[in-house]
């Protein structure tokens, strides 16, 4: 099946620092999404991207849809303690009629030291 | 308030037992999904349904079964054939044709 490689696996940073994480795919996607999961809860959608090269922001979060359509990036600026959680990338190729569901990366676990 | 409700939050399964996880949504979404999450890993797709009375296998369907008799409901049965059922199970829904999944708060299944 489709493979998503997400890195880094985990990050431990100081409050106020910026954070970057990325995701690469073995196949082309035409949609990339970024989710955040708090412990014991379901993921919550942060940003959705629909076009190669697209750059979208949501507050302190900025995500980009890679030009090759095989990667995506998420940046968090000026981190705060409530940014703690697991961040997942997810992608889908709508042309893949055999699979009409998102594929998820393995997640980046973020810890923020106050 | 509209949303997705999963129950129970915690569930224990005995050896050889089938258990059913509930998922209900009142978002009027056509599509529903089940994902499995193991510690330190991403979400893996078990089954999904784009419309009532129809569903497709995902990447790890073996040992699981589903039904979609109503638009609002998509229960998942973990059968005794699933030899490693301990995991966090997440149900999600979306408007068909969009990729924005809305998730429930999950069910933690453990084996006694």
Over residues A56-75, the mean pLDDT reads: 96
Over residues A88-102, the mean pLDDT reads: 80
How much is the mean pLDDT over chain A?
Answer: 92
Which H or E element spans position A47? strand A44-49
**CA distance, residue A24 to nearest chain B CA (Å):** 14
Please tell me the distance from the alpha carbon of residue B59 to that of residue B82, in angstroms, as a whole number.
Answer: 14
Per CB-CB distance under 8 Å, the chain B contacts of A42 are: 4, 6, 90, 92, 103-106
Tens digit of each residue's pLDDT (9 = 90 or more) over B40-74: 788 999 999 999 999 999 999 999 999 999 999 99
Hey, of B8, B31, B42, which one would you mutate to test binding to chain A, going by the most A CBs within 10 A of its CB? B42
Size of interface A-B (CB pairs under 8 A): 62
Residues 6+ apart with CB under 8 A from A24: A4, A5, A70, A71
Per CB-CB distance under 8 Å, the chain A contacts of B99 are: 31, 33, 48, 90, 92, 94, 102
- Tell me the three state secondary structure of residue B56: strand
**CA distance, residue A34 to nearest chain B CA (Å):** 10
Question: Does pLDDT of A97 surpass 70?
Answer: no
Number of Cβ within 10 Å of residue A51's Cβ equals: 12
Residues 6+ apart with CB under 8 A from B79: B18, B63, B64, B65
Question: Does pLDDT of B112 surpass 60?
Answer: yes
Over residues B27-37, the mean pLDDT reads: 95
Task: List the Cα angle A38/B63/A39 in 5-degree steps.
Answer: 5
Question: Does pLDDT of A94 surpass 90?
Answer: no
Percent of chain A whose pLDDT exceeds 70 = 93
């Amino acid at each position: 099946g489709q493979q998503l490689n997400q890195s880094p696996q985990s990050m431990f940073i100081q409050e106020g620092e910026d954070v970057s994480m990325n995701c690469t795919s073995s196949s082309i996607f035409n949609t990339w999404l970024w989710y955040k999961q708090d412990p014991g809860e379901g993921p919550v959608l942060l940003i959705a991207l629909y076009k190669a090269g697209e750059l979208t922001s949501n507050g302190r979060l900025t995500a980009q849809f890679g030009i090759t359509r095989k990667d995506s990036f998420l940046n968090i600026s000026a981190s705060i303690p409530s940014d703690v959680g697991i961040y997942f990338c997810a992608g889908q190729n709508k042309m893949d009629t055999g699979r009409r569901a998102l594929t998820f990366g393995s997640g980046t676990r973020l810890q923020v030291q106050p | 308030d509209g949303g997705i409700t999963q129950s129970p939050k915690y569930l224990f399964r005995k050896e050889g037992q089938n258990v059913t996880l509930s998922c209900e949504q009142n978002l009027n979404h056509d599509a529903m999904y089940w994902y499995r999450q193991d510690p330190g890993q991403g979400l893996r797709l078990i089954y999904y349904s784009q419309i009532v009375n129809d569903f497709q296998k995902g990447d790890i369907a073996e040992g699981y079964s589903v039904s979609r008799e109503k638009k609002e409901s998509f229960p998942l049965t973990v059968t005794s054939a699933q030899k490693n059922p301990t995991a966090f199970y997440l149900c999600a829904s979306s408007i068909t044709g969009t990729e924005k999944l809305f998730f429930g708060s999950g069910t933690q299944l453990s084996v006694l």
